[in-house]
Structure 1
């Protein structure tokens, strides 16, 4: 299951996994973008889609998990790329930003994890990967809400890893550097783009983390900042 599947990183992940013959549950809030993604995948790819889903709603996430089990017999992996970014000083406007970041980043990670974990527990196998961020380890100025929400993702992931190690379920976080996307290029026209990380580079890392070969890696916050 890949959430935010039609985004820049989600698209790279689903494209790589589809090429490896993985059955996919693709979730995204944007119907047209999700349809375009599916159209771009190999014709033989087996894909179940959910568009317009509010992943902060436990009932929605539970329904998606049940549909995935009905279609594919189980859920081996969850890659959650849903999230948001907002900055600002700690002042009278922070509470609204705090609620937004906690909902988009922390709550979605929690709700999606809760939805898939019983299926993984029953199978005694599973892989969970969330996208965190370096400010979750140490915040900078104007990052209070965003950093706190990403710190919550890190702590959630660590807890899942320890709670479910005996069930052969791993949980890890990726801490990406600046990802080379059209949106980031437009927002930072003077930046050193060659120093940015390609979405497919992160997708390859995630493909490893959800594979059987990554069984010994769990509870980690893995930086994805290097260059190829």
Structure 2
């Protein structure tokens, strides 16, 4: 990892974002933590070691190109560059194709695909100028094959995967890698509440996915690009 830049983590105060920030902070990386409210970010920063180098940035809507660009500009102002983008922002909604599908489609395309696109667009010029960068998005297995009631969600995650592939192909010459992760069900308090009868032992801890993210943004992962990497197995 180049030392003059930083790692942007979007959705930093969420379950996966928080696990990722905690691990990367422990590794001594400089972090630019992005979420929708200052309160959530302040709580995140209080959980980090005292010597962690992490800055908060409030972006209420990364589906707006102005917010996405402001994020990148602020990261460069604070740290001088952007080594990696870890985008954990996303949403989940299901339902059959019918009269309500359009609203769900637009929501999923915004939270999952549009945010991935706009955050990538915002960081790419900085990474191109540095001739170095790592981009990691979160996709999902339904992006490979949709099931019933998954049309909007699956289509949005498929869009993330195709975006990732294009980014990887376009920016190899700039030493910029782009990958996406396909987690299984993540073990979070929200998922446990929503699925009280589920077999939790088959779920994936956010910390396990964070370790995969840490590898993908590291110099050791320079040969890994354009991947849609499953993260569904047991530890």
Quick check: TM above 0.5? yes
* Aligned counterpart, 1:29: 36
Q: After TM superposition, which residue ranges in structure 1, 4 or more long, deviate above 3 angstroms?
A: none
Which string of whole-angstrom CA distances, capped at 9 and with x for unpartnered residues, describes residues 113-152 of structure 1? 0000000000000000000000000000010000000000
1:93 is aligned, of 85, 97, 100, to 100
Report how many aligned residue pairs link the two structures. 228
For the 8 Å contact 2:82–2:127, the answer to whether it is kept is: yes
2:226 is aligned, of 207, 212, 219, to 219
TM-score of the superposed pair, with normalisation by structure 1: 0.98
For the 8 Å contact 1:180–1:198, the answer to whether it is kept is: yes
> Within 5 A, what are the aligned runs for 1:124-143?
124-143=131-150
* Aligned counterpart, 1:2: 9
| Uncovered stretches (5+) of structure 1, i.e. residues with no partner | none
2:114 is aligned, of 107, 112, 131, to 107
CA RMSD of aligned residues (A): 0.8
* Aligned counterpart, 1:54: 61
Is 1:195 matched with 2:216?
Answer: no
Is 1:82 matched with 2:89?
Answer: yes
* Aligned counterpart, 2:176: 169
1:71 is aligned, of 78, 95, 106, to 78
Q: How far apart are the structure 2 equivalents of 1:48 and 1:173?
A: 24
Is 1:185 matched with 2:192?
Answer: yes
TM-score of the superposed pair, with normalisation by structure 2: 0.95
Q: How far apart are the structure 1 equivalents of 2:79 and 2:88?
A: 21
1:119 is aligned, of 98, 103, 126, to 126
Q: How far apart are the structure 1 equivalents of 2:202 and 2:37?
A: 30
User: Equivalent residue of 1:48, what SS?
Assistant: strand
Q: How far apart are the structure 1 equivalents of 2:124 and 2:157?
A: 21
For the 8 Å contact 1:129–1:172, the answer to whether it is kept is: yes
1:38 is aligned, of 45, 54, 67, to 45
For the 8 Å contact 2:38–2:56, the answer to whether it is kept is: no
